[in-house]
Each structure stands twice: as structure tokens, then as C-alpha cells.
Amino acid sequence: MNLTLEQMDALSEIANIGASKAAKQLSLLLNDIVEMSVPRLTIGSRREALDLIAVAPQDDTAAVFQKASGLLNAEVALLFHSQESRELVQALVGADLPLEDVDMSAFEHEAMTEIGNIIVSACISTIADLLGGRVSLTIPVYVEGSFSDIWHQLEGGDRPQARYMLVMGTKLSAVQRNVNGSLVITFSLDDLNSLLQQIDEWLAKMSS
């Protein structure tokens, strides 16, 4: 899908504002300096999205899912490499045991759900604020599995629909660790066109 340069710039700006809002909240919560950036962004088909995410199908992946409705009707997922995210959470909560020693997964899942919840909320509410509408989100759900299984869910499970994807490659840095992730927003063509129209209107308002 071809976006105009202005549309891409606007999306990048929105993504970076959302990321810095999330980083601020995470810093307060974790009492540590948390930085978050969106170095890569693409919008397009499944193939284009997969090219940006560049994760092997069998890779262990952690995901926080939330469904958006209102100004934006979409499935939103924040994807992280499982091992990286677990190491980050263990560092944040001060766990000092190697991962294989204790199954602390419930503990870590809960923390990752909250971190994902903050990032997704911050990014989606930035979109809503800038475009002057309201977006409601459902309760976050944490899922862990192979990347191909997670991707299958993002595509609509056993009843896949033609979806377009906005992928923001995120980089979260905290406690001397870098965790690379992707915020993926999937929508139908109609919903995507509607978002782009809102962005065009916002750009027109900004330039007038």
C-alpha cells in the first residue's frame, strides 16, 4: 500500500509521541529510566508487515492483545521476543534466578501484560487525541507461543480476513537491556482508509 510522504510522517510522529508517553509512564512505574522509540514503521499487506517484523516462524513470542473500537476499529498486538521480555521483567522486578530454575511465568505474564497495556494505551490514545476522536480498548490479553501461532491469531484465527497492517517496530530500553518489539495494528481496508482519511483531515487542519 502506498502512503503519501505526509501520511507516513504523520504516522511516525504519532507513533513517537505515543512511545515517549509510554516511556514516561513506564519510567514512573519502574522508578528507572525507560526509553522507547519507534525506529521503523510500515503499513501494508501481511507480506510487508512480516518483512518489517523479521521474526522466524518458530521463534518464541510474547504478545499482548487488545481490540480497539471507535475512531479506530482494529486488533492491536504488541509482540516481543519471549526470552528478551522475560529477562527484562526479571531485571525489573529483581528476580535473580536463572529462568529454568523456577517457573515464575504467571508473575512475568502479569507484569508483561501491564507493560503491554501501558504501551498500547499510550499509542492508541495518542492517535485518538491527535485525530480528535475516541478509541476504546478491551481488556489486555497476554499470549505466548511461536511467532506463527501468534500471527495466525492476528490474522483472525481460523477465519482469516483480508487485513492490512500498521507495524511500528519498537525499541524499549530499560535496566541496561534493549528489547525489540513490534506494535501491530490490523484493520480491514475500510477501517484503514478511514484512518488515513482522518490523518489527511488532521494534516489539512495543521497546514491551514
| Least spacing, CB of residue 98 vs other proteins, in Å | 8
Q: Which is nearer to other proteins, 11 or 64 (CB)?
A: 64
Q: At what angle do helices 189-207 and 5-30 cross, to 10 degrees?
A: 90
Q: Which is nearer to other proteins, 61 or 121 (CB)?
A: 121
The size of the chain, in residues, is 208
Segment contacting other proteins by CB under 8 A, of 22-30, 35-43, 161-169, 183-191: 22-30
Tell me, residue by residue from 54 to 93, as one string, x for binding to other proteins by CB under 8 A and - for no binding: ------------x---x------------------x--xx
DSSP bridge pairs for 61 = 81, 145
As a whole number of angstroms, the distance between CA 72 and CA 69 comes to: 5
* Of residues 49 and 123, the one with the C-beta less far from other proteins: 123
Q: What are phi and psi of 137, to 5 degrees?
A: -120, 150
Strand partners, 186: 75, 165
Please say whether the dihedral angle defined by the alpha carbons of residues 90, 31, 142 and 159, taken in this order, is positive or negative.
negative
Sites of contact with other proteins (CB under 8 A): 25, 28-30, 66, 70, 89, 92-93, 95, 97, 101-102, 104, 106-108, 110-111, 113-115, 117, 121, 124-125, 128-129, 134-140
